[in-house]
Amino acid sequence: MEDNVVSWPRQNFSRRSLVVGGALGLTSAAGVTAALRPEPARAAAGATRKVTIYAEALPGGLFGYGLAPGKATVPGPVLEMWEGDTLEITLVNTTDQRLSIHPHGVDYSTDSDGSPFNASFNKPGETRTYVWRSREMFAAEGRRFMPGSAGYWHYHDHAMGTEHGTGGVAKGLYGALVVRRRGDILPEKQFTVVFNDMMINNRMAPNTPMFEANLGQRVEWLAIGHGGTFHTFHLHAHRWADNRTGMLEGPADPSQVIDNKDLNPGSSFGFQVLAGEGVGPGAWMYHCHVQFHSDGGMAGIFLVRNADGSMPPGAEEAIHRFQGHVHTAQHG
């Protein structure tokens, strides 16, 4: 597939995923992501990590966030925190538009809210710092527990275009935010899927991202909803537990196991699967299960290659059919 507007995760995954503050040393064959993660700080106090993010105009009227000048993508980079840590974001607005960065799921003060109502946004060309805090679960009075911040969250612009600042989301200013609990299992690959109006990552089939993994690789899906339409996310041939991690915690874990989940504006979830586990390699679909949305272009391919990275039988043909290079006899 061409790459004429933005970069896809499969192509520059190593740049798009970052546990903030980690040393950017590339090591091991175990996967780039793991190499980018710092050891979790053992922290009563929690560590403060800093990252600079560049908001940029992209071809086609889109906008994106990136970790370096000229590297903005749709979606933006995956941002990760360890529960208890603080993330300090320096947002550089290289555009001529008002914009911001607004997180879900973490703690922040009004001046890091990112909304026009709190006057916390970057003016055109302005650089501004936003602080996101997270906390661990703790026991509270009355035999209750206060929730920690761990979860599959997301971030987005909240200032562009309109009084409520909805213009940036429509044009690609969004990304995944993962807050991990210490002890969580780390993935080898991450795929961000954003259902935004009738598009996936502001693309329509057959130009939707094709995500790739080798058989057995631990893959983390980060699903986010935006826009003005309700959707359902479905992944073929894989299933997950409908809980925080997507994994059953034990034989008595009551979580429902699912392969389809509502993905509505503002909501997000994530889960890990082992690519092709129990079903083998192949070109598996992911798509919105609202049928006319799927027909309208909200579909893509999860290509599970053989364990050695080679193409499994039939996958090339399936991809060609998806891309529309079909012989007419195909539907006969």
Least distance (Å) between residue 174 CB and Cu ion: 16
Q: Which of 99, 210, 288, 299 binds Cu ion (CB under 5 A)?
A: 288
Stretch that binds Cu ion, among 30-38, 41-49, 284-292, 317-325 (CB under 5 A): 284-292
Q: Is 136 helix (H, G, I), strand (E, B) or coil?
A: coil
Least distance (Å) between residue 262 CB and Cu ion: 10
Say whether the peptide bond before residue 187 is cis (omega within 30 degrees of 0).
no
The residues, ordered by sequence, that sit 6+ positions from 224 with a Cβ below 8 Å of its Cβ are: 75, 154, 174, 176, 192, 193, 194, 195, 263, 267, 268
Q: Which of 32, 51, 131, 290 binds Cu ion (CB under 5 A)?
A: 290
User: In 3D, which of 259, 276, 270 has the Cα closest to residue 78?
Assistant: 270
* Cβ closest to Cu ion, residue 273 vs residue 298: 298
Least distance (Å) between residue 73 CB and Cu ion: 22
Least distance (Å) between residue 201 CB and Cu ion: 14
For 284-306, the DSSP string reads EEEEESSHHHHHTT-EEEEEEE-
- Asked whether position 204 contacts Cu ion by CB under 5 A, the answer is no
Least distance (Å) between residue 198 CB and Cu ion: 7
299-305: strand order across its sheet: 210-214, 299-305, 282-288, 232-235, 260-262
CB 25 within 8 A of CB 85: no
Task: Map the footprint of Cu ion across residues 222-241, applying CB under 5 A.
Answer: 231
* Cβ closest to Cu ion, residue 264 vs residue 306: 264
Stretch that binds Cu ion, among 167-175, 219-227, 286-294, 312-320 (CB under 5 A): 286-294
Burial 155-188 (b: 16+ CB within 10 A, else e): bbbbbbbeeebbbbbbbbbbbbbbbbbeebebbb
Q: Which of 8, 293, 305, 322 binds Cu ion (CB under 5 A)?
A: 293
Q: How many residues bind Cu ion (CB under 5 A)?
A: 4
Least distance (Å) between residue 194 CB and Cu ion: 12
List of residues contacting Cu ion (CB under 5 A) = 231, 288, 290, 293
